[in-house]
Structure 1
Amino acid sequence: MEVFQAIKQRRAVKHYHADAEMPAEDFDKIMSAVILSPTSYNIQHWRFVRVTDKEQRNKVKSAAWGQAQVADASELVILCADINAWNDRPERYVINSPQETQDMLLPMMDAFYNGKEQIQRDEAMRSCGIAAQTMMLAAKELGYDTCPMVGFDREELARLIRLPQGYVIAMMIAIGTAEKSAHPRGGQLPLNEVLAENYF
C-alpha cells in the first residue's frame, strides 16, 4: 500500500472480529517500524505495554468504560512514556555518533530538559504521538485497522499495568480486523482554515 493511501484509509475503527488473530510476524513487523519513530535527541521515551491476557484485557476494558474494541481487537498496545528518559544513561542515545557529536549533544540534552518538568512531559507525549501514527500506518499497510484511544480512567489503568513512577500513559491503540467500517469522516476542516503562512 502506498503511504498516502494508508494515510487516507486509516480510520478509528470501533468494531473488530473478536476471533481474528494477528500472526506474530505481523506484530513484530509493526513494532519494528514503531521503534524507528523519531524522538528528540533520540531519547526514545516510549515504552509499550502489549496486553495479551484475556482477563487483563477485560479489566482494561472496564477501565475504558466498557469500550468493546479493547477486548475484541487482535492486539491492544498501551503507549506510555518515561518522562525521565533524558536523564537515564543518556550516552546510550548517542553511542553510535562520532565522539565530537556526543560531546556536543549530551550537555545540550541536559540543558534542554534539566529542571523543566513541563518540557520533559511535553516531549514524552510528543514522542508517543509520533510512535502512535507510525503504529497505525504500519498496521494499515499490513491490512489491519486501528483505534487510538484516550477514553479511559488513567489512574485505574496505571494501577492495572503497574505503571512505574515517573511514567505517563499517552494513549492506547487497538489493532485488528474490522468487523464494521468506521463512519464517514465527521467534518474535515479545509486546508486553508488550518494552514497559515509565516504567521497567523
Structure 2
Amino acid sequence: MNDFFLATNRSIKISVLGNDVEVRQIQMKDFDLWASHAEVLKNFIKGRDYSDEILTELFTAHTIQVISMIACVTDITKESLLKIAVNEQEFKQLLKTVLNVNHAYFKYEKPKRGRKKAAQSNESTWFDSFQFLISAGHRPDDIMNMTYGAFDQYLKSAQKDNKNKLQYLSSVIRSAHHANAKEFAKFFEGLKE
C-alpha cells in the first residue's frame, strides 16, 4: 500500500461468499485490541510471504488470534468468520487482504545490532512516540484517529526532520565556535534572510 493509502485511511472491499466486505486499516485508538492478537501472528509470519501454505499454517496454529484480528478490521462477527473459514480459499483471500491492508504493522524489520544494554533499559513508550508527534505539530485526537501505517510514517518523518534540525544546529554551533566576531555576525545575518 502506498503512502496516500495509509495517510487517508483507505480501506479495500472484497467479495467474500458473495458479500462485499470492507477491510480497514487498524487505527491507533483500537491498537491495544488489535495488537494483543496481531503480535502473535506477526511473530509467526516474521518476514515470510503470504502464500497459501503459510496462511494455512498460521490459521492452524493461531485460529483464535486470526479470527479476532480479522474481526477488529471488518464488520464480520467472530461466529460468521468461523463459518467463512469452512471455505478455505475465500477465508485465505480475506486473511491475505487483512495482512496486506495492514502491512505497515506486519512488515518484518530486522533487529538493529550493536545496541548497548544501557540503551535498552531506557526504552521508549507509546507516550514518548505520541509526545514526539505532538511536538512536531500533530494533535492527540488526530494521532488516535491515524492508522498504524500513517502513525509509523509520520513518526519516521518527524524523526528525520528532528535529525536534520540537529545537524543544522551542530553546524551553526561549530561555525560560531570557530568564527571570529565579524565572520559570525555575517553568518548570523545570512540566517535572517
**TM-score between the two structures when normalised by the length of structure 1:** 0.25
Greater relative CO (CA pairs within 8 A, separation 6+): 1
Larger radius of gyration: 2
Which structure dedicates a bigger proportion of its chain to strand?
1
